Amino acid sequence: MYTRIWPSVGAGSGLLYVLVFFGASLTSADVSLYIGLGGMLLFLPFLGYLWSVLHQAEGPGGWLATTALAAGIVDFTIKLGSVAPGQAAQQEPDGTPLHVALDQINSTSFIVTMLPMAVMLAATAVVILRTRALPAWLGWSAAGIAPLLLVNGMYLDAEFGPAFLLFLLWLALASGVLLRRAVRRETPAATAPTAPTAIPAH
């Protein structure tokens, strides 16, 4: 039973990550930080599960699934590394040189994360469209969002990342599709009715 549950945990972590991300924005700054950190951790099991699906579909010798995994880990690492300067900036008075510098590091780190996100979705799109490991519309949408992330990630002075919202939308949809498949596999197949045993004639 527990073995069957684990695929659903990995598949659903992406959707939960998106929900926690938006939920954290509705709370106070102090609470939002801790909720956001917890939400970030949910990205890792989803990333691992997505890799397993893509890797299995790609077969031996494939490297795109691993590229998507590596790009996702780079994205997570940059996000995690930006927490410290972002938190330190809140301890400084607004407008001071140190506050401005720390806040700029945090903002730039957010924009830069869209570069590995672009690589992740591009590699994922190729695997999906070549193998149909997931519905084709997920592959085409990933292929469309990847260049938008790349362009958005090049504008290091930007303060808003619209392409990131598209990434979250894709992540939620992909997680939903994977979760649905995982749940179907966990549901035991209905037992076919057995034919009545014939009574031997005497």
Coil, strand or helix at 91:
coil
Round the average pLDDT of the chain to a whole number and report it: 86
Q: What is the mean pLDDT of residues 135-158?
A: 94
Round to whole Å and give the CA distance between 96 and 143. Answer: 42
Per this entry, what is the length of the chain?
A: 202
Strands (E), 95-140: none
Q: In this structure, what token pair is assigned to residue 43? A: 């990205």
- Tokens found for residue 138: 């997920």
Output the CA torsion sign for 88, 90, 91, 93.
positive
Predicted pLDDT at 154: 92
Q: Tell me the pTM.
A: 0.85
Higher pLDDT, 195 or 90: 90
What's the number of CA atoms in the CB half-sphere (13 Å) around residue 13?
19
Range 56-78 burial, b when 16+ CB lie within 10 A, else e: ebbeeebebbebbbbbbbbbbeb
What DSSP assignment string belongs to 170-195?
HHHHHHHHHHHHHHHHHSPPPPPPPP
pLDDT given for residue 194 in this prediction: 47
Report domain extents, the chain: 43-174
Q: What whole-number distance in Å separates Cα of residue 66 and Cα of residue 52?
A: 9
Question: What pLDDT was estimated at residue 117?
Answer: 97
- Which band of pLDDT confidence, cut at 50, 70 and 90, is reported for residue 98? confident
Residue 5 and residue 86: Cα distance in Å, rounded?
37
Mapping DSSP to helix (H, G, I), strand (E, B) and coil, where does residue 59 land? coil
Has residue 101 got a pLDDT over 60? yes
Predicted pLDDT of residue 2: 47
Please determine, for residue 5, whether its predicted confidence score (pLDDT) is greater than 90.
no
Percent of the chain with pLDDT over 70: 88
The pLDDT tens digits of the residues spanning 102-124 come to 888 888 888 999 999 999 999 99
Handedness of CA 89, 91, 92, 98 (dihedral sign): negative
Q: For residue 187, name the pLDDT band (cuts at 50, 70, 90).
A: low
Q: Which residue has the higher pLDDT, 12 or 91?
A: 12
* Residue 186, pLDDT above cutoff 70: no
Tell me, what's the pLDDT at 169? Answer: 96
Q: Side-chain half-sphere of 177: how many Cα atoms within 13 Å?
A: 14
Q: What is the pLDDT of residues 6-63, one digit of tens each?
A: 889 999 999 999 999 888 777 766 677 778 788 889 999 999 999 999 999 999 889 9
